Structure 1
Amino acid sequence: MHQNMFSISVASAFFFTEIKTGALKKLLSGFVEELWVKWELQGMVTLSLLLQFALVWLGHHRRHQGKYSHYVAILVWSAYLAADWVATVALSALLKAKVGELHSELVVFWTPFLLLHLGGPHTISAYSLTDNELWPRYLLGFFIQVGVAIYAYVKFRSDNSVLTYMAIPIFVAGIIRYGERICILRAASRKQFSNSVFSSTSRDAEKRLDNILTNSSTSSHVPQTLDEYLREKNVIEEGKSFHKAFYLYKMYVPLFSELRLRIYRNLREHFMLSHSIPAEDAFKIVQIELGFLYDMRYTKSTVLQSKKGKILQGIYLLSTFSVLIAYSITVGNFSYPAVDIYITCFLLGGAILVDIFSVILHFLSDWTMFYLSIPSNEGHKFLGGTIATRLVHFEAKKKGIVSMAQHSLIDYCFKVNTSCWTSILRVLDTEDLFGKFWYTSWEKVNPNLKNFIHLHLQEKFIRYQNIKDEVSRERIDKNFEEFDHQLLSSILKERGDHVLQGKGVVFMDEFKWSINDVEFSHSILLWHIATFVLFYDDKRRYSSSALGSYCQISKLLSNYMMYLLLVRPLMLPKGIGQVRIRDTEEEVMRFFGHVKSLNNNDAASALLHMENEFPLSSIHGKSVLRDGCKLASMLKALGEELQWDLEDKWEMIANVWMEMLAFAASKCRWKQHATQLRHGGELLTHVALLMAHLGLTEHIRIVPQQSAEEQSLKWDWEQLSHMSYYLA
C-alpha cells in the first residue's frame, strides 16, 4: 500500500484544494469562512515547518529499537506523509489563488520555503525501501512542484519589492534541498545500491588489483590483517570498533541487495570476526554496521560525507543566512502585518535550525566517529587528542542491540479476552494489528543472552570447519565445493533436531514430531506453549532463585520467536502460522471460558492437565494448544525419569530455541532484514549478520584462488572498493 502513498498524497492535495472553497461556502458561516481564507496559508506554512522539526527528531530516534519504537514508527509515517501533503496543499492553494486575493507580499515570499520542506531534513530521506524505488515519481513531482512554485512567484511578485530579489537565494536553496532528496532516493534504490558495490569496472582497475594481490615486491608493505592496518594508521583505541564495523560493512553490504559473495579461501580470515572477540564487542560491531546501512538506505548522511554534498550544504546555509540577515535589516521598512513578519522570521530561522540540528546529529553519528578516530594530519591529530577522543569514548560505550520484543500467546489471549475494547477495535482492525503491538513487551538483551548466542554460533562454525577438514584430508576432489555447499545447507537447516540428536536416540524418536515432522511456524507454536507451561510450572514449584540463566534465556527466545510469528511473519519461512495462531487463540479462550483473572502459574498448572480435562473431539481446527501441552508433559516426565536438575532441562530447551533462531536468521531474506531497520532493527538481523561473519550463510561461497601464487596473496585495505568488485 505504501508504494501508492506518494501519488495519493499529491492527488489528495490537489483534490482538497479544488473542493475546499465550495465546501466552505456550504458548511461554514461567513465569519469562519473569511477567517479560514485569511489564515489558510499562514497555518499551512507554519505547520509545514513544524513537521520538519518533527521529522528531524523522529528520523533520528526511529533507528533505535525499544518499548516505544512502534509508536515512533506510526508518528514517522504520519509526519512523513503529512509533510509532503501540507507543502503540496499550500503550493496548490497559491496556484489557485487570484491576483489581489493575497493580502501580503510576504505570502509569496514563503513559496520557496515550501520547496525546502519538500526536500526534507537530513535525518530521513525515505520512510521505507519502497520510497527509494519510487524515485522517478518523486522526480516527476519535483519538476511539477518547482514549476508551480516558480509560476506562483512570477504571478504574484512585485517589481518594486525587495522581497522579490530576496526570494531568489531561497529558491536556490529549496531546489538544492529537493534535488538532493531525489538523488539520495535514486542512490538508495535497489538497482543503484547494488551497482555501487561494483564501483570499479575498468580494465585498469582490474590490472591494479592483480598487482596488489600478486605482486610480491609490494607484499611486504600491505598489512595482512585489519588490526595491523589500524595500528599502522594510528587509530585511537576507542575508535577501532567503528573501523572494524566500517570495513566489514563495506564487504558484506552486497548481501542486503540479495547478491552472493565469493571469497577466496586464503582471504577468508579478513572477512571474519576473531574467535577471541567477546560477545559484547561482536554485537557492538554488528550494531554499528547496521547503523551504517540504515544511514545509506533511509537518510541523507552521504550528502554530509561527500565533497559535493558539503559544497551544496555550504551554498544552502549561505543562501538562508544571507536572506535572514537581509530580512532583519530591511524588515523595519515594511508595513506588513506583524503576524506575517513573525511567520517569515520563523521560517528563516527554522530553516537554519533544522539544518543545524541535522548537522549536529550527524556530527555525533558513527560516521563522524569513524573519521575522527584516525588522525590524518597534525591538526586532526590535535583534535583527535582532545575533542575527538572524548566523543569517540562517549560513543564507544554502545553495547550493541539493547532490547528485544516479547510476545506471550497465552498472556495475549487473556488480555484480549478481558479487554472491553477488543470487540470494538476488531470491527476496523480485523487482524488485530493494534492489539499485537499494544500487548508487545520489551526485555533487555542481557550479556548472558549475547554470550549464549555468540557461543552457539561459534560452536556451529567450529563443527562445520571440523567436518570439512576431516573430509578434505581424506579426499580432495572436484566435488569438494559441492560437498561444502551441501554440508553448510544441512547445518543451516538445523532447527532443534541437532540438539535432540546430541541427547540420544530416545530424544530424537520421542520429540521429532514437534520439530522435523511439522512446518517451522507449527514448531514455534508447539515449543512456545510448552516453554510457557514449563516455565510457570517451575516458577510455581520452586523459588525464583532456583531458575537459572538457561531458564530465562529460553523464556526470552520463546517470546521473541512468538513475536516474530505474530508481528513480523515476513521474516520467517512461509507457512499457515497465522491460521494456527487464530485457532489456538480461540482454543485457549474456550478452555479457560470467561475467567476474568488467572495468574500464569495457575494457567500453566491447568494446561499441564489439559489432556484429562479437555476431550480430543473438542479440539478446534488447526489449534496446537493440546499438542503444545502434550510436549510440555513429555519434557517434564522425561526430565523426572532421567533425574535431571532444572539447569539440564532448560539448557536443552534453550539450545532448541537457539537453533530455531539461527534457522530463522538464515532463511530470512536480506531485503527483509534491511526493511526492518526502519523500525529499529531486529535481534534476528544481528544474529544473521553475525552468522555471515562466520561464513554461516548460503549467500557466501568460499572458493580457491585461481592464481598460482596463492601464498603471496595479500589484502590492501586502502583499495577496499576495488576489492569489493574483484571478489563479489
Structure 2
Amino acid sequence: MVDVIPEHIKDVWDRWNIRGAIILSLTLQAILICFSPLRKRTPRRLLIMLVWSSYLLADWSANFAVGLISKNQGKELKKDDPPQDKKLMALWAPFLLLHLGGPDTITAFALEDNALWLRHVFGLVFQAIAGVYVVLQSIPNSLWLIILLVFISGTIKYLERTTALYSASLDKFRDSMIQAPDPGPNYAKLMEEYKAKKEARLPTKIILIDEPDKENRPKKLVHPAQASEKRKEKSKLTDLEIAQYAYKFFNTFKGLVVNLIFSFRERDESLEIFENLTDPEEALRIIEVELGFLYDALFTKVAVLHTVIGTISRVVASGTLVAAFILFHKKPNKGSEFHPADVVVTYTLFAVGLALDLISILLFLFSDWTCAALSSLKDDPDEVLSPKDQFFNWLLSLRKLSWTMQECNKEGDDKCSKHEVLTTGFFLRRWCGSINVFNFLAYATNAEVARIHDARGKLRRYAWTAFTYPFEKLSFIIQTLGGWVPKLINAVHRRISHKVNETSRKHPWARSTIYPFYFGFLSRIPHFIKFVWDKFSDFFDISDMLDMVYKTLFVHGEPMTKELWAFMFNELKYKSKFGDSPENAKRISLARGQWTLRDNLPEDADMEKLVGYVTNFDYDQSLLMWHIATELCYQQEETIPEGYAKSKHYSNREFSKIISDYVMYLLIMQPGLMSEVAGIGKIRFRDTMAEADKFFHRRHIENVRDVKIASKTILDVSSDIDPMGVKGDRSKSVLFDASRLAKDLRQLEERYGKDKWEILSKVWVELLCYAACHCDSTAHVEQLSRGGELINFVWLLMAHFGLTDQFQINKGDARAKLIIGK
C-alpha cells in the first residue's frame, strides 16, 4: 500500500501540530488587536479582508488546537517524547480559552455576529469542559496553580466577549434603552370624580396644565458662546467638551439604530446646542466622536469594560495572567522537566499575551470613551479645569482635525477656489475623512477621472498611478477583445460559409461531406463555447463582478473640505427653523429637491417646470438625471451672473460636483446605503448607459475619452419634445431628460440672473439628506466598520437638528387637572 503522505511528513506533523496551532492562534490574535481598530479609518478592501479572514480563523484555530491537545492527552507516549510534556500542554488549553475571548478591539465583524451571543455561551461551556478534561488527564500536575490562574483569566475574557455580543445584539440594545412603562394620568379615576361632581351639579371642568418639570427642567446644557462676555473671545468648545457632548448625545441618539421614538425635550436640547455652535467644524467633531462611540458599543468590548463590573473583571483577568507568568518564570528546573521547544512556546504565549493585554489596557485608558465617561460637563464653562480634565483635554487635542489650504486642480486660475481639505493623519483620524465619487459620463466615455482636490503627496500620487495603470490597460484590452472577438468570429464564419456553399454547389461530394461537417459541427463550436461561458458566468455572477471591478477604476476619493461641511451644516440649520412641528419636520425630511427649488427660485420664474424634474420622477430617476445634468453644466463655459461673488460661485459649483458624484457612487457602488432604490437604480443606470453607448457610437466619439466633447455633443441634440413622448416608457434611460434639465438651468441663469450653481448645490444637499434619512439605520452602523461615509454624518446631523420623523415633539408636555368652580 502506497502512503499518500510520506512518513517523515507525518512525523513532523505529529510532533509540531499542537505547537503550530497554538502559534497560529496567537498570531491571529495579534493581527486582530493591531489591525481591527484601523477598519473604522479606511474602506480599503485589503485591510478589511485581512481582518475578516483573521476573525473567522481565530475561533477555528483555537478550537482546533484544544481538540488536538485533548486527543494528545489520551494518547500513549512514544519513546522519544519527554515524559511530562502533557503537563505543560495542559497549561496551553486555558490559553486557548483566553484567545477565544478575543481582543478588546473587535467582538463582532458585522452586526449579525452580535445575534450569535447564545452560541458563544454554549462555546464557553464546552470549551471550559474541554479544558477541565485536559487538566484532569494531566493530574498529578505541578503546574495546577498556574493553570488555574490562566483558566480564570481566560474565562473572564470569554465572558466579556459574550456579554459584549449580548448587549450589542439589536433586541437587547433596544431593550436597554426602553424606559419604564408610563400609563399616564389615571383616566378612570379622573372621569369618576368628574362624573360625581357633575351629578352634584357643581361647576366642573377639566383643563390641561404644563407638566411641573416643563418649567423646572434640569439645567440645560450651556454652550460656552452663551456663558459670559468674558468668554466671547474664546467661544469655541474645548476638545474635552467636544467628547463630553458627543458622549451625552450618543446616550440619547443611539436609539436611532433600533428606530426608537424621541421626546421633544431631547430634540430641543440637541437643537439648542447645535444651533449655537460658533463653528460648523465643532458639529463635525462632535458627530465623528459620537459615531465612534456607536462603533465601539456595537463592535468592541469598550461598552462592557467601562462599567464597574467590567473594570473589575479586567483588573482580575490581567492580574491573574501576570501572577501566572511570575509563578511559571520562577518555577525551577523547567528546562529539564519539559521539552525546550515547549518551554519557548509557553514563554511566547505569556509574553505575547501580556503584551496584547497591555495594548488593550492602553487603548482602554486613552480612549475617547474614558475621557468622556470619567469627566462631566461643567455648569459654568468659565470654571477652571481640574488636572485630570486638563490631561484629558490635552490627550484629545492630539486627535484634533487637521486642515490644509489647497486650490482645486486642473481648473485654471479663473475657475479656482481655495478650500481647506481634511488632512488628519491616518492613525489619528476617527473615520476615513474622504468622499468617494463616481461620474457617469466619465465612465461612459472611459475618460480619465480628474480630482478636484488632491491631498496626497506627489510620491503617493505617482505610486497610485503606477499601481492602477496595469489594471486600466488590462481592462481596456479585455473590453477591446470582448468587442472585437465576436466580430472577428462572425467575419470568419461568413467567409468560410460562403466558400463552403460555393464548393458544395460545384461539387456533389462536398455537399455530402464538407457541408454537413462544417454547418453541423464546426460552425456550432463558437456558439457552444459562448453558451457554456454564459451559463458559467451567470452561475458565478462573473460578469457583474468584472463590471464592478471595472467601475472601481473610475472611483476616487475627494478629501472632505471644511467649506463643504459648513455649507451642508448651514443648509440643515436653516431648514431646522421650519421643523417646529412633527408634520413640518417630516415634510422637510421627505423633500428631495422640491422644497429647495420653491424656496430659492425667483417668483416670476416658471417654478413648477423645474420642480417637475423632481416631483414627476422617481427618486432614483431624479438622482441619475440631476447627476448627468450637473455634469453637463459643469463642462460648459462658465458665466458668473451679475452680483454674485466669484469665490462663492465656484465654491457652489464645486459643492454640486462633489455631492452629485458622491450620490452616484452611493447608488452604483454602495447599494446597501441606497436600499430603497438600489434595484431599479441599477436598471436605470444600465439603460442610460446603453443609450449613451449607442449615441456616442452613432456620433463617432466612442473612443474620444473626453467628457467635455461628450457633454457638448449631448447638449447639441434638440430636446424640445419630452423624450418619453418619442421613446415611450419601455427604456428607463434619462440621458436626454438630463439634457433638457441642463438647458433649463442655463436658461434660468440667463433670463433671471440666478446662479444655477447656488440652486444645484442646495438641491444636491436635499437629495443627499433624503437618502440619509431613508437608509436603514443598521446600514449606517455597518458602514462605520468600513471607514464611515459622509452620508452617516448627514444622517446624524439631521437627527440633531430634529429633521426626522422619530420625534414626538408635541406629546407629553401637558397634564389634565380637574377644576371645581365656586
Cα offset, 1:580, TM superposition: 1.5
Cα offset, 1:227, TM superposition: 4.3
Deviates more, 1:488-497 or 1:578-587: 578-587
SS at match of 2:264: strand
Equivalent residues of 2:244, 2:377 under 8 A apart: no
Q: 1:670 aligns to what? A: 777
Alpha-carbon distance between aligned partners in 1 of 2:213 and 2:684, rounded to the nearest angstrom = 61
Deviates more, 1:80-89 or 1:28-37: 28-37
Q: 2:65 aligns to what? A: 90
Match status 1:113 vs 2:212: no
Equivalent residues of 1:132, 1:185 under 8 A apart: yes
Residues 69, 308 of structure 1: CA spacing in aligned structure 2 closer, same or farther, 3 A cutoff?
Answer: same
Q: 2:627 aligns to what? A: 528
Q: 2:75 aligns to what? A: 99
Q: For residue 319 of structure 1, what is the amino acid of its counterpart?
A: T
Q: 1:721 aligns to what? A: none
SS at match of 1:537: coil
Equivalent residues of 2:97, 2:154 under 8 A apart: yes
Residues 228, 236 of structure 1: CA spacing in aligned structure 2 closer, same or farther, 3 A cutoff?
Answer: closer
Q: 1:210 aligns to what? A: none
Cα offset, 1:338, TM superposition: 3.3
Deviates more, 1:677-686 or 1:98-107: 98-107
Q: 1:369 aligns to what? A: 371
1:625-644 aligned within 5 A: 625-642=735-752
Equivalent residues of 2:296, 2:302 under 8 A apart: yes
Alpha-carbon distance between aligned partners in 2 of 1:118 and 1:555, rounded to the nearest angstrom = 48
Match status 1:498 vs 2:595: yes
Match status 1:132 vs 2:82: no
Equivalent residues of 1:403, 1:443 under 8 A apart: yes
Cα offset, 1:574, TM superposition: 2.1
1:135-284 aligned within 5 A: 135-155=117-137, 157-159=138-140, 161-198=141-178, 214=212, 223-227=219-223, 237-264=238-265, 268-269=268-269, 272-277=272-277, 278-284=279-285
Cα offset, 1:558, TM superposition: 0.7
SS at match of 1:405: strand
Q: 2:50 aligns to what? A: 75
Across the aligned residues of Structure 1 and Structure 2, the Cα RMSD in angstroms comes to: 3.8
Residues 557, 26 of structure 1: CA spacing in aligned structure 2 closer, same or farther, 3 A cutoff?
Answer: farther
Equivalent residues of 1:253, 1:293 under 8 A apart: yes
Q: Structure 1, residues 515-558: CA drift from partner, whole Å, max 9, x if none?
A: 111211111111112222222334899xx999711111011101
Question: Normalising by structure 1, what TM-score?
Answer: 0.79
Residues 78, 283 of structure 1: CA spacing in aligned structure 2 closer, same or farther, 3 A cutoff?
Answer: same
Cα offset, 1:461, TM superposition: 1.4
SS at match of 2:109: coil
SS at match of 1:334: helix
Q: Structure 1, residues 639-681: CA drift from partner, whole Å, max 9, x if none?
A: 345455xxx1211111110110111122223232222222232
Deviates more, 1:352-361 or 1:415-424: 415-424
Alpha-carbon distance between aligned partners in 2 of 1:42 and 1:551, rounded to the nearest angstrom = 62
Cα offset, 1:230, TM superposition: 12
Question: Normalising by structure 2, what TM-score?
Answer: 0.70
- Give the count of matched residue pairs: 641
Cα offset, 1:201, TM superposition: 6.8
Alpha-carbon distance between aligned partners in 2 of 1:608 and 1:538, rounded to the nearest angstrom = 13
Equivalent residues of 1:226, 1:244 under 8 A apart: no
Alpha-carbon distance between aligned partners in 2 of 1:348 and 1:527, rounded to the nearest angstrom = 60
SS at match of 1:431: helix
Q: 1:431 aligns to what? A: 544
Q: 2:575 aligns to what? A: 460
Alpha-carbon distance between aligned partners in 2 of 1:689 and 1:320, rounded to the nearest angstrom = 41
Choose 1 or 2 for highest CA Rg.
Answer: 2
Cα offset, 1:351, TM superposition: 1.2
Alpha-carbon distance between aligned partners in 2 of 1:438 and 1:322, rounded to the nearest angstrom = 54
Alpha-carbon distance between aligned partners in 2 of 1:537 and 1:94, rounded to the nearest angstrom = 72
Q: 1:550 aligns to what? A: 652
Q: For residue 88 of structure 1, what is the amino acid of its counterpart?
A: N
- Match for residue 387 of structure 2 among 376, 382, 386: 382
Q: Structure 1, residues 5-43: CA drift from partner, whole Å, max 9, x if none?
A: xxxxxxxxxxxxxxxxx9xx9643333333233322222
Equivalent residues of 1:665, 1:685 under 8 A apart: yes
Residues 605, 151 of structure 1: CA spacing in aligned structure 2 closer, same or farther, 3 A cutoff?
Answer: farther
Cα offset, 1:118, TM superposition: 1.1
Equivalent residues of 1:63, 1:681 under 8 A apart: yes
1:512-591 aligned within 5 A: 512-538=611-637, 548-572=650-674, 574-575=676-677, 576-591=680-695
Q: 2:398 aligns to what? A: 394
Q: Counting helix residues as a fraction of each chain, which structure ranks higher? A: 1
Residues 488, 184 of structure 1: CA spacing in aligned structure 2 closer, same or farther, 3 A cutoff?
Answer: same
Residues 285, 36 of structure 1: CA spacing in aligned structure 2 closer, same or farther, 3 A cutoff?
Answer: same
Alpha-carbon distance between aligned partners in 2 of 1:670 and 1:634, rounded to the nearest angstrom = 36
Cα offset, 1:284, TM superposition: 1.1
Alpha-carbon distance between aligned partners in 2 of 1:154 and 1:596, rounded to the nearest angstrom = 75
Residues 374, 702 of structure 1: CA spacing in aligned structure 2 closer, same or farther, 3 A cutoff?
Answer: closer
Q: For residue 664 of structure 1, what is the amino acid of its counterpart?
A: A
- Match for residue 446 of structure 1 among 540, 561, 565: 561
- Match for residue 715 of structure 2 among 600, 603, 608: 608
Q: For residue 544 of structure 2, what is the amino acid of its counterpart?
A: E
Equivalent residues of 2:241, 2:377 under 8 A apart: no
Residues 707, 199 of structure 1: CA spacing in aligned structure 2 closer, same or farther, 3 A cutoff?
Answer: closer
Equivalent residues of 1:230, 1:240 under 8 A apart: no
Equivalent residues of 1:375, 1:384 under 8 A apart: no
Equivalent residues of 1:662, 1:687 under 8 A apart: yes
Alpha-carbon distance between aligned partners in 1 of 2:115 and 2:604, rounded to the nearest angstrom = 52
Alpha-carbon distance between aligned partners in 1 of 2:647 and 2:163, rounded to the nearest angstrom = 57
1:21-60 aligned within 5 A: 27-60=4-37
Residues 311, 643 of structure 1: CA spacing in aligned structure 2 closer, same or farther, 3 A cutoff?
Answer: closer
Cα offset, 1:299, TM superposition: 0.7
Residues 231, 250 of structure 1: CA spacing in aligned structure 2 closer, same or farther, 3 A cutoff?
Answer: farther
SS at match of 1:686: helix
Residues 420, 325 of structure 1: CA spacing in aligned structure 2 closer, same or farther, 3 A cutoff?
Answer: farther
Equivalent residues of 1:263, 1:702 under 8 A apart: yes
Alpha-carbon distance between aligned partners in 2 of 1:706 and 1:604, rounded to the nearest angstrom = 60
Cα offset, 1:193, TM superposition: 1.1
Cα offset, 1:92, TM superposition: 2.8
Q: For residue 295 of structure 2, what is the amino acid of its counterpart?
A: Y
Alpha-carbon distance between aligned partners in 2 of 1:413 and 1:202, rounded to the nearest angstrom = 58
SS at match of 1:574: coil
Cα offset, 1:596, TM superposition: 5.4
Alpha-carbon distance between aligned partners in 2 of 1:200 and 1:490, rounded to the nearest angstrom = 31
Unaligned regions of 5+ residues in structure 2, if any? Answer: 184-210, 229-235, 379-384, 403-421, 423-429, 447-471, 483-532, 641-645, 818-822
SS at match of 2:104: coil
Identical positions, percent: 27
Unaligned regions of 5+ residues in structure 1, if any? Answer: 1-21, 204-212, 466-483, 710-728
Q: 1:715 aligns to what? A: none
Q: 1:3 aligns to what? A: none
Residues 359, 537 of structure 1: CA spacing in aligned structure 2 closer, same or farther, 3 A cutoff?
Answer: farther
- Match for residue 768 of structure 2 among 648, 655, 661: 661
Alpha-carbon distance between aligned partners in 2 of 1:511 and 1:202, rounded to the nearest angstrom = 48
